């Protein structure tokens, strides 16, 4: 399980302060409330103005707000598009540049809610609004009698797009009707139905809708809204064909349904949907997932991401190119990153998702990619083959380059920084594990002004296990470093970004090779004289929480541990989680088929060996690693007299979203480690 999908702003700015400190100080927990970020920069068709989403923390609410701002690069400062900065996200210009479409949680003009709410631990719901590009009154797409429910804006299902002529709008939303039968409603009960799990609680199946827009919107923007899909499958990421006659979407139209959050490993295919009558037909039929369709501007080709197996929850993608004139026979994988020649790759495996506007022309497209600890954009020219080149090699006259230059010029200027902060620096570590496997990770060292070698150490294993650590830039890492800890984030076997062989290296071996990778990395730091062998701590979330609980059951070298939303018992995980395939793939069967593996690789099995003071943090509504997993480990330690506490965070799912809860987590981690530090005991 991956702890969360981070929101990555394009520009980070800090709220202005009355007075800035004369000297930099370390990162503080309160910095959570000082974020003021710019994201989702959208360039007008004439490239004269950008509209973007400003996301900041409202001090009166101690929570995030989002609104739309605009900037034209002239001497005046950026300014909000609406007075009072009402909620608004995901801006998009119409092709003629006259309108901006966006998503908002605001009610209708008379105060009536625009949609039924979803729980706070689900993805935020919204409805579609339009406003004149020059500013003015926002107009709802429809009204109280709209046929759809909540608009999806997540990274997998959600997408809003104008047709090429600008007269129609495609979007993804569930159905407004209550899914329960009249008998359920009368009895006050709910029949268990398969849903999409983590992040989607409260939503119905994601359906594709097309709105025919009025030439001159007044009280509403849509003349007619047509539902194109009529079943219980979930459809996502719709893309218009250049002629506007059909749409490409990805969907898993099989009975083998499961959560998609952080887990794209089911039989997703790309489907063609007729924009007039909803007739649907497959464009791909691969054995594993095909997702993220992107149609070339000339309509000849489509590129998408493809995996040749139904494997781990996070896998290595190939690039699949589909000849749209002959999809059945005109599809080809550019290069098989799962094949025998994977080590001789002509391009890096692409990231999910493909960029919305990835095509430069009918033959060239770009992808983002990550390999080891490096990230880049790469350009592929289908006329030359699968070899990639750097986007920096494009000439200055390329439209893509000119557009990027305009975006840079129109990027909103940064505001005055808040109190100066001592930045804890990263360094990349390389070492050999116990079996000789090369491993690397990130070490974030305390600023020299506040701590000296050997440092006390916090090990932070990442989630997944197929996620990865890329930097020490997260606030909790910086706060720990600012309190004198060196923070070690190892990319143990199983981590993403190192190819299929490395990704699969911990299959059937959770707690085996990956634990040894971590311990040998710590030994490497001790030998270098960087860390104190007597003052070591461990903190992890999700699979990082699994590894935390596993480590304290197999070693006594840590002074204290914190496990957050941890996997502690695999049988319970299988039966209560929204992700059964995680167990089935990683251990080659279901619990009743591989019972010994379930027991052998469960941290709870070794709770009797735990001596390390262990703090358990768990979200009340976590559907990926449900609350009983934390309770079981806590009760096992508490009954045996091991120093332990457990904190439950209400209204939270797998990622902890509420700022007050995020702040509480950081403070409790700091307090727990300080309470059990060697120097504290010596006083």
The per-residue pLDDT for 5 is 34
Q: pLDDT band at residue 118, thresholds of 50, 70 and 90? A: very high
**What is the model's pLDDT at position 525?**
98
Q: Per-residue pLDDT for 12 more than 60?
A: no
Greatest Cα-to-Cα distance within the chain, rounded to the nearest angstrom: 77
% of the chain at pLDDT higher than 90: 87
309: helix, strand or coil: coil
Distance CA 172, CA 163 (A): 14
What's the whole-number mean pLDDT along residues 285-303? Answer: 97
- Binned at pLDDT 50, 70 and 90, residue 682 comes out as low
The mean pLDDT value for 106-128 works out to: 95
Q: How many CA atoms lie within 13 A of 381 on its CB side?
A: 7
Residue 13: is its pLDDT beyond 60? no
Region 238-260: mean pLDDT is: 97
Q: Are strands 560-564 and 614-619 parallel, antiparallel or unpaired?
A: parallel
Place of tokens 């598009």: 81
Q: Give the confidence band of 422 by pLDDT, cuts at 50, 70, 90.
A: confident
Query: What tens digit of pLDDT does each residue of 313-331 get?
Result: 999 999 999 999 988 788 9
Return the pLDDT at 283. 97
Q: What CA–CA distance (Å, rounded) separates 316 from 498?
A: 9
Sign, CA dihedral 306-307-309-310, equals negative
How would DSSP label each residue in 402-443?
Answer: HHHHHHHHHSPPPPPP-S-EEPPPEEEEEEE-TTS-EEEEEE
Mean pLDDT of the region 5-9: 34
pLDDT of the residue at 449: 78
287-293: average pLDDT: 97
Least confident of 40-44, 411-415, 626-630, 675-679: 411-415
For residue 126, CA distances in Å to 110, 149, 168, 646 come to 17, 9, 19, 35
What does the pLDDT read at residue 678?
78
Mean pLDDT across the chain? 93
> Do the beta carbons of residue 630 and residue 568 sit within 8 Å?
yes
441 phi/psi in degrees, rounded to 5: -165, -175
Q: What is the pLDDT of residue 287?
A: 94
Query: What is the rounded CA–CA span in Å between residue 568 and residue 474?
Result: 25
Which helix (H) or strand (E) segment holds residue 550: the answer is helix 543-554
Query: Any idea of the CA torsion for 445, 447, 452, 456, to the nearest 10 degrees?
Result: -40
Residue 501: what pLDDT?
A: 97
Rounded CA-CA distance 510/594 in Å is 14
Task: Give the pLDDT of residue 488.
Answer: 98
Contacts of residues 20-25 at CB distance under 8 Å and 24 or more positions apart, as own/partner, are 20/416, 20/417, 20/418, 20/419, 20/420, 21/419, 21/420, 23/420, 24/419, 24/420, 24/421, 24/422, 25/419, 25/420, 25/421, 25/422, 25/482
Average pLDDT on 275-292 reads 96
Contacts of 478 (CB under 8 A, 6+ apart): 26, 27, 421, 423, 424, 444, 472
Which pLDDT tens digit goes with each residue over 165-175? Answer: 999 999 999 99
Please identify, in words, the CATH class of the domain defined by 423-677: alpha beta
The arithmetic mean of pLDDT across residues 35-48, rounded, is 94
At 317, list the tokens.
């993608």
The count of C-alpha atoms lying within 13 angstroms of the C-alpha of 453, restricted to the half-sphere facing its C-beta, is 8
Long-range contacts at 341-346 (CB < 8 A, ≥ 24 apart): 342/499, 342/500, 342/501, 343/499, 346/385, 346/386, 346/387, 346/388
Rounded-to-integer distance, Cα 26 and Cα 264, Å: 39
Which residues lie across from 101 on neighbouring strands?
92, 130
In this predicted structure, what is the pLDDT of residue 81? 95
Q: What percent of the chain has pLDDT over 70?
A: 95
Any idea what the Cα angle at residue 291 is, between residues 256 and 173, rounded to 5°?
75
418 pLDDT band (50/70/90 cuts)? Answer: low
Least confident of 119-128, 175-184, 304-313, 649-658: 175-184
Quick one: pLDDT at residue 680? 65
Q: What is the pLDDT at residue 329?
A: 80
- Between the CA atoms of 516, 517, 519 and 522, what dihedral angle is there, to the nearest 10 degrees? 170
Task: Give which of 466, 479, 470, 467 is closest to 441, Cα–Cα.
Answer: 470
Band the pLDDT of 21: cuts 50, 70, 90: very low
pLDDT at 621: 98
- Across 147-166, average pLDDT: 96
Would the pLDDT of 421 be above 70?
yes
| Residue from 225, 212, 127, 228 nearest 168 by CA | 212
The confidence band for 415, taking pLDDT boundaries of 50, 70 and 90, is low
Compute the average pLDDT of residues 482-487: 96
Q: Is pLDDT at 4 greater than 50 in this prediction?
A: no
Contact 308, 286 (CB under 8 A): yes
Judge whether residue 17 has pLDDT over 60: no
Dist CA 514 CA 460 (whole Å): 13
Hey, is 240 helix, strand or coil? strand
pLDDT of 289 > 50? The answer is: yes
In this model, does residue 15 exceed pLDDT 50? no
In sequence order, what DSSP letters do the residues of 79-146 get, joined into one string?
A: EESSTT----EEEEE-TTSSEEEEEE----TTS--SS----TTSPPP-EEEEEETT----EESS-TT-
Quote the strand ranges of 353-408, DSSP E.
364-371, 374-381, 388-390
pLDDT at 564: 98
Q: Which residue has the tokens 């309509």?
A: 299
What is the mean predicted confidence (pLDDT) over 444-471?
93
- Expressed in angstroms, the distance from the first to the final Cα of the chain is 40
User: What residues contact 188, with CB distance under 8 A and at least 6 apart?
Assistant: none
Q: How far apart are CA 635 and CA 627, in angstroms?
A: 12
Burial class (CB in 10 A: 0-12, 13-18, 19+), 474: middle
Evaluate whether 550 touches 601 at the Cβ level (below 8 Å). Answer: no
Predicted confidence (pLDDT) at residue 19 exceeds the cutoff of 60: no
Query: Which of 261-270, 406-415, 484-493 is predicted least confidently?
Result: 406-415
* 584-596 pLDDT, tens digit each: 999 999 999 999 9
Q: How far apart are CA 231 and CA 273, in angstroms?
A: 14
Residue of 654, 1, 626 lying closest to 314 (CA atoms): 1
| Spatial separation of the C-alpha atoms in residues 575 and 554, rounded to whole Å | 26
Phi, psi (degrees; rounded to nearest 5) at 633: -70, -40
- pLDDT over 60 at 683, yes or no: no
* CB 218 within 8 Å of CB 139: yes
Instruction: Tell me the sheet residues that pair with 350.
Output: 369
Express each pLDDT in 532-571 by its tens digit.
Answer: 999 999 999 999 999 999 999 999 999 999 999 999 999 9
- Indicate if the pLDDT at residue 298 is higher than 60: yes
Q: Is a pLDDT exceeding 70 seen at residue 2? A: no
pLDDT tens-digit map of 132-151: 998 889 999 998 999 999 99
CA distance 128 to 432: 53
pLDDT digits (tens, 9 = 90+) for 206-229: 999 999 999 999 899 999 999 999
| pLDDT at residue 3 greater than cutoff 60 | no
Residue 8 scores a pLDDT above 80: no
User: How many CB atoms lie under 10 A from the CB of residue 6?
Assistant: 9
pLDDT above 70 for 619: yes
Which segments of 235-379 does DSSP mark as H helices, in order?
none
């Amino acid at each position: 399980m991956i702890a969360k999908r981070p929101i990555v702003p394009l520009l980070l700015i800090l709220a202005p302060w009355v007075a800035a400190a004369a000297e930099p100080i370390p990162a503080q927990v309160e910095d959570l409330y000082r974020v003021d970020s710019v994201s989702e920069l959208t360039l007008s068709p004439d490239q004269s103005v950008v509209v973007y989403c400003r996301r900041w923390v409202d001090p009166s609410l101690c929570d995030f707000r989002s609104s739309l701002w605009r900037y034209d690069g002239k001497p005046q400062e950026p300014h909000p598009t609406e007075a009072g900065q009402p909620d608004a996200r995901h801006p998009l210009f119409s092709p003629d540049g006259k309108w901006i479409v966006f998503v908002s949680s605001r009610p209708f003009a008379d105060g009536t809610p625009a949609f039924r709410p979803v729980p706070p631990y689900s993805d935020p719901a919204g409805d579609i609004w339009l406003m004149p590009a020059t500013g003015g009154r926002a107009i709802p797409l429809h009204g109280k009698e709209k046929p759809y429910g909540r608009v999806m804006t997540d990274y997998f299902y959600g997408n809003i797009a104008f047709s090429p002529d600008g007269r129609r709008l495609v979007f993804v939303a569930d159905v407004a009707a209550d899914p329960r039968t009249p008998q359920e409603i009368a009895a006050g009960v709910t029949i268990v139905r398969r849903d999409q799990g983590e992040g989607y609680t409260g939503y119905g199946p994601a359906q594709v809708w097309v709105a025919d827009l009025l030439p001159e919107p007044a009280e509403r923007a849509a003349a007619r809204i047509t539902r194109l899909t009529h079943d219980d499958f979930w459809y996502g990421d719709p893309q218009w064909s250049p002629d506007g006659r059909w749409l490409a979407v990805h969907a898993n139209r099989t009975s083998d349904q499961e959560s998609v959050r952080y887990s794209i490993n089911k039989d997703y295919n790309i489907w063609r949907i007729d924009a007039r009558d909803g007739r649907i037909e497959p464009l791909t039929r691969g054995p594993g997932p095909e997702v993220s369709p992107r149609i070339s501007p000339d309509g000849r080709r489509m590129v998408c991401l493809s995996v040749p197996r139904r494997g781990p929850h996070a896998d290595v993608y190939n690039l699949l190119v589909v000849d749209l004139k002959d999809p059945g026979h005109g599809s080809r994988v550019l290069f098989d990153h799962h094949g025998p020649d994977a080590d001789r790759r002509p391009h890096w495996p692409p990231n999910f998702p493909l960029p919305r506007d990835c095509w430069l022309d009918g033959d060239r497209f770009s992808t983002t990619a990550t390999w080891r600890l490096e990230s880049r954009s790469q350009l592929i020219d289908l006329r030359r083959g699968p070899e990639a080149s750097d986007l920096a090699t494009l000439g200055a006259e390329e439209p893509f380059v000119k557009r990027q230059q305009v975006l840079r010029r129109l990027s909103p200027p940064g505001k005055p920084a808040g109190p100066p902060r001592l930045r804890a620096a990263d360094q990349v570590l390389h070492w050999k594990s116990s079996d000789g496997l090369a491993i690397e990770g990130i070490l974030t060292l305390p600023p020299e002004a506040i701590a000296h070698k050997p440092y006390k150490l916090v090990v932070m294993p990442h989630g997944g296990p197929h996620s990865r650590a890329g930097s020490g830039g997260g606030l909790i890492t910086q706060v720990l470093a600012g309190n004198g800890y060196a923070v070690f984030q190892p990319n143990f076997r199983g981590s993403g970004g190192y190819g299929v062989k490395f990704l699969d290296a911990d299959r059937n071996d959770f707690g085996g090779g990956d634990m040894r990778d971590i311990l040998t990395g710590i030994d490497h730091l001790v030998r270098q004289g960087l860390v104190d062998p007597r003052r070591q701590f461990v903190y992890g979330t999700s699979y990082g929480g699994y590894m935390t609980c596993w480590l304290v059951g197999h070693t006594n070298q840590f002074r204290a541990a914190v496990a957050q939303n941890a996997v502690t018992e695999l049988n319970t995980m299988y039966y209560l989680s929204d992700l059964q395939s995680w167990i089935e793939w990683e251990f080659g069967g279901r619990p009743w088929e591989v019972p010994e593996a379930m027991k052998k690789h469960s941290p709870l099995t070794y709770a009797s060996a735990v001596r390390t003071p262990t703090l358990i943090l768990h979200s009340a509504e976590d559907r990926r690693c449900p609350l009983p997993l934390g309770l079981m480990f806590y009760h096992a330690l508490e009954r045996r007299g091991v120093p332990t506490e457990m904190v439950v965070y209400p209204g939270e799912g797998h990622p902890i979203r509420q700022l007050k809860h995020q702040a509480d987590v950081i403070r409790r981690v700091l307090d727990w480690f300080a309470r059990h530090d060697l120097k504290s005991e010596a006083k």
